[in-house]
């Protein structure tokens, strides 16, 4: 074999040292491919593609992801996914934009706000919707029992996130001049304590922070009634470069999430146990939230209507730079992987 190798090298390259190095490099590459092929039979998963980092909001909305992870659905679909927890879609998207994650979960409004400044990401799927995830919590001792009584009061929310849009829509629906309400920007972890310390009179916030705020207030807590003026969508978002390079893996991720949703429907008690374990909250939270969430894969026209309405609101209310123009919001959605993963889930025309 050595003689044959030397003869081959001599005849083609005149004993060139550079050519010898090239030959051995080629031989090493072939050997690695052979070893990998053998390992696929001996140890499945050894040669799987590089892992995807998924920035996951710590919320009940993320339950299909928690289930897919705990039940091994990602691995079963042949994709390696590592979860990076974050609080809220804004922070999850920041991890995505900073290159620390290839996928992220986010509600609709953070997706819209970022679209005024960048276009290097897209929604792959909506996997949860809710008309009750965001709530308006107040103290009875603040004397607020109706919408009009919020005038002149301080209301905390997370600006640029879904509760911000919900609050404005709620005030408009109840014929309350938003300019007469003092909106205080806080982080989600801060709202409950601020309400309890009477630094604010009410908070618009998502779960589980609404539940935690009510629990901390005890008998002094109250939730102001709200019709379904806003249906929040919770979405899986990807970097555009990940979409271009790893669309097959994204299909596998979506299939795993669909299996997670089927598990939730068929084994709700086990799914609830997974939720409690991941969020580290008391069992009362499940009863509080369970009927408010619709775990279903989709990309439909209602998503576009929500995104367009939020973009117009952001411009009208001056939440984006002066002179900002509404971007092409259809570019925010990439339906290809979901069409492959869950046939029939895409009804959006694009």
213-250 confidence digits (pLDDT tens) = 999 999 999 999 988 889 999 999 999 999 999 999 99
Provide long-range contacts, Cβ within 8 A and 24+ apart, for 192-201: 192/216, 194/156, 195/137, 195/138, 195/139, 195/156, 198/139, 198/142, 199/154, 200/154, 200/155, 200/156, 201/138, 201/139, 201/142, 201/144, 201/150, 201/153, 201/154, 201/155
User: Does the bond joining 208 to the residue before it have cis omega, within 30 degrees of 0?
Assistant: yes
Boundary residue ending a domain (223, 258, 280): 223
Q: Side-chain half-sphere of 282: how many Cα atoms within 13 Å?
A: 6
Residues 8 and 89 in one domain: no
Environment class of 266 (CB within 10 Å of its CB; exposed 0-12, middle 13-18, buried 19+): exposed
* Phi, psi angles (nearest 5°) of residue 330: -65, -25
- Cα three-residue angle 305-310-316, rounded to 5 degrees: 125
| Whole-structure pTM value | 0.83
Residues 285 and 331 in one domain: yes
pLDDT in tens, 129-153: 999 999 999 999 999 988 999 999 9
To the nearest whole percent, how much of the chain has pLDDT over 70? 86
Q: Mean pLDDT of all residues in the chain?
A: 88
Domain extent, residue 165, equals: 134-223
Rounded CA gap, 141 and 145, in Å?
Answer: 10
pLDDT in tens, 177-190: 989 999 999 999 99
Boundary residue ending a domain (158, 188, 223): 223
Rounded CA gap, 294 and 131, in Å?
Answer: 9
Boundary residue ending a domain (223, 247, 279): 223
Residues 144 and 111 in one domain: no
Residues 31 and 152 in one domain: no
Residues 333 and 242 in one domain: yes
Give the number of domains in the chain. 3
């Amino acid at each position: 074999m050595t003689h044959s190798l030397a003869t081959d090298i001599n005849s083609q390259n005149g004993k060139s040292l550079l050519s010898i190095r090239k030959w051995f490099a080629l031989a090493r590459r072939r050997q690695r491919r052979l070893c990998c092929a053998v390992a696929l039979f001996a140890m499945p998963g050894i040669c799987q593609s590089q892992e995807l980092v998924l920035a996951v909001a710590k919320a009940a909305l993320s339950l299909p992801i928690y289930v897919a992870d705990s039940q091994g659905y990602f691995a079963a679909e042949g994709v390696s996914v590592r979860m990076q927890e974050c609080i809220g879609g804004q922070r999850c998207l920041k991890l995505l934009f900073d290159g620390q994650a290839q996928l992220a979960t986010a509600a609709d409004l953070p997706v819209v706000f970022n679209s005024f400044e960048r276009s290097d990401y897209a929604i792959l799927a909506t996997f949860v919707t809710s008309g009750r995830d965001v709530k308006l919590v107040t103290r009875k001792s603040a004397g607020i029992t109706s919408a009009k009584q919020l005038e002149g009061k301080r209301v905390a929310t997370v600006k640029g996130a879904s509760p911000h849009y919900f609050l404005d829509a709620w005030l408009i629906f109840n014929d309350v001049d938003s300019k007469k309400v003092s909106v205080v920007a806080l982080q989600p972890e801060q709202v409950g304590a601020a309400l309890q310390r009477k630094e604010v009179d009410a908070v618009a916030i998502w779960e589980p922070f609404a539940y935690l705020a009510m629990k901390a207030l005890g008998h002094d807590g109250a939730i102001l009634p709200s019709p379904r003026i806003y249906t929040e969508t919770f979405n899986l978002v990807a970097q555009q470069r990940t979409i271009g390079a790893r669309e097959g893996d994204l299909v596998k991720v979506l299939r795993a999430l669909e299996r997670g949703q089927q598990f939730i429907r068929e084994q709700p008690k086990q799914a609830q146990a997974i939720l409690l374990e991941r969020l580290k909250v008391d069992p009362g939270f499940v009863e509080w939230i369970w009927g408010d969430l619709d775990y279903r894969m989709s990309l439909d026209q209602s998503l576009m209507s929500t995104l367009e309405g939020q973009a117009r609101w952001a411009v009208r209310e001056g939440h984006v730079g002066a002179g900002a123009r509404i971007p092409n919001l259809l570019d925010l959605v990439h339906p290809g992987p979901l069409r492959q993963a869950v046939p029939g889930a895409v009804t959006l025309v694009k």
